[in-house]
Structure 1
Amino acid sequence: MEQKPGYIYILTNPSFPDYVKIGYADDVKSRLKQLNRSESTPFAFRCYATYKVNHRLSDLKLHTIIDKLDPTLRSIDNVDGKKRIREFYAMSAEDAYALLEAIAQINGLEENLKLWDMTKDEIRQKNLSEEINSEKKDRLSNFRFSYCNLKEGDVISSLENFEIKATIIDDNHITYNGMTYTLSGLAKEITNAKTIAGPRHFTYEGKILSEIREKIEKEKC
């Protein structure tokens, strides 16, 4: 009986940027539709690359190779006393592709490799996810005006409304309409958001505070 060719796939998902999903499918697009019907992840899976193979178990062989190279990469957990081994690996899509590429080169089958182009919607989702993750880091990290070379008496403006101006009174606080706030505190009041990264919502001389801080930190490196 003639073997039907299939594909080893590398999938990415902005919901967990530190992992890739490596598996096998006869039809990658159908597999994507199946995965993306689930509402358990904020963003959709996308195909980063595929490698055409002639054997259904080829992905299991690839899993074995990766596990032997570094068994800590595989996503493994225990739920209700049962061990769950997933197709997720803590590696970049580029590293996963490099592994497939090496296998293809060994077998002289480079033409079986395919890198998939991102659609406009996938690019939008990726950018949105990166923005959300960046905002989360900003919320969790301590911010001081001195990180932006700002000092007491300097005036900053709201990104949502440049007419809203606040004056820095110390390294962590501002005053607006006679009341004292943190950056995030005033940003929440202006936007009615429950959680918000203040440095992303205020500017100094037209430049966003988080970007000023990022630029200064890069210059120090």
Structure 2
Amino acid sequence: MQSRQSSHFATQLYIRTRRKLGGLVMPEPGYVYVLTNPEFPSLLKIGRTTRAPEVRAQELSSHTGVPFPYVVRYSRWFSDHQAAERYVHTVFADKRVRGKEFFRADLDEVIAVIEEYQPHMRERASDRRRFPFWRLVWVAAIVL
């Protein structure tokens, strides 16, 4: 009986909090990576993953249209990998190829931008609103 009540409470807390927060997004940890492929020597793929970048590269390489495997040239872990990737994509927006995650950019320059990224750089009007975890707990307490 006790576990059923606590389960119901947790479910209600989740539902009320989601309604209250609306479009807010919790930061998610993961990697921002840079991949290259010998078939496309002038292009860099700048992406993100919550798994090991090598696993993501292997996954992308398994497509039948890719004759050579992708190689991880650089990766870095971030507590909010979505914001970090968005920042890097914004910096290199003028070098983006066909609106995808591919860029005609210098590898060393891309690495330097990834390394210089700090979480406070993500604050832009165009970003989706983000919430630190402690605020989520605070809002949940108010909702109930």
CA deviation after TM superposition for structure 1 residue 47, in Å: 0.4
Q: Does 2:55 correspond to 1:41?
A: no
Q: Whose helix proportion is higher, 1 or 2?
A: 2
In the TM superposition, 1:172-183 aligns within 5 A as none
CA deviation after TM superposition for structure 1 residue 35, in Å: 0.2
* Counterpart secondary structure, 1:75: coil
Unaligned runs of 5+ in 2: 1-25, 122-144
- 1:54 aligned partner: 79
**In structure 2, what is the Cα distance between the partners aligned to 1:74 and 1:14?**
19
Residues 11, 21 of structure 1: 8 Å contact kept: yes
- TM-score w.r.t. the length of structure 2 is 0.57
Q: Which residue identity is paired with 2:90?
A: T
- 1:25 aligned partner: 49
Task: Tell me the matched-pair count.
Answer: 93
Residues 19, 92 of structure 1: 8 Å contact kept: no
In the TM superposition, 1:104-115 aligns within 5 A as none
- 2:89 aligned partner: 63
CA-based RMSD = 2.2
After superposition, the C-alpha distances for 1:135-172 in whole angstroms (9 at most, x for unaligned) are xxxxxxxxxxxxxxxxxxxxxxxxxxxxxxxxxxxxxx
**In structure 2, what is the Cα distance between the partners aligned to 1:60 and 1:103?**
11
Larger RCO (alpha carbons 8 Å, 6+ apart): 2
Match of 1:94 among 96, 101, 108: 108
**In structure 2, what is the Cα distance between the partners aligned to 1:9 and 1:62?**
11
CA deviation after TM superposition for structure 1 residue 54, in Å: 1.1
- 1:103 aligned partner: 117
Structure number with greater Rg is 1
Q: Whose strand proportion is higher, 1 or 2?
A: 1
CA deviation after TM superposition for structure 1 residue 56, in Å: 4.0
**In structure 2, what is the Cα distance between the partners aligned to 1:38 and 1:99?**
29
* Counterpart secondary structure, 1:57: helix
Residues 34, 44 of structure 2: 8 Å contact kept: yes
Residues 88, 113 of structure 2: 8 Å contact kept: no
**In structure 1, what is the Cα distance between the partners aligned to 2:58 and 2:66?**
14
CA deviation after TM superposition for structure 1 residue 57, in Å: 1.8
**In structure 2, what is the Cα distance between the partners aligned to 1:3 and 1:18?**
32
CA deviation after TM superposition for structure 1 residue 4, in Å: 4.8
Q: Which residue identity is paired with 1:12?
A: T
- TM-score w.r.t. the length of structure 1 is 0.38
- Calculate percent identity across the aligned residue pairs: 26
Q: Does 2:34 correspond to 1:10?
A: yes
Structure 1 runs of 4+ aligned residues shifted over 4 Å read none
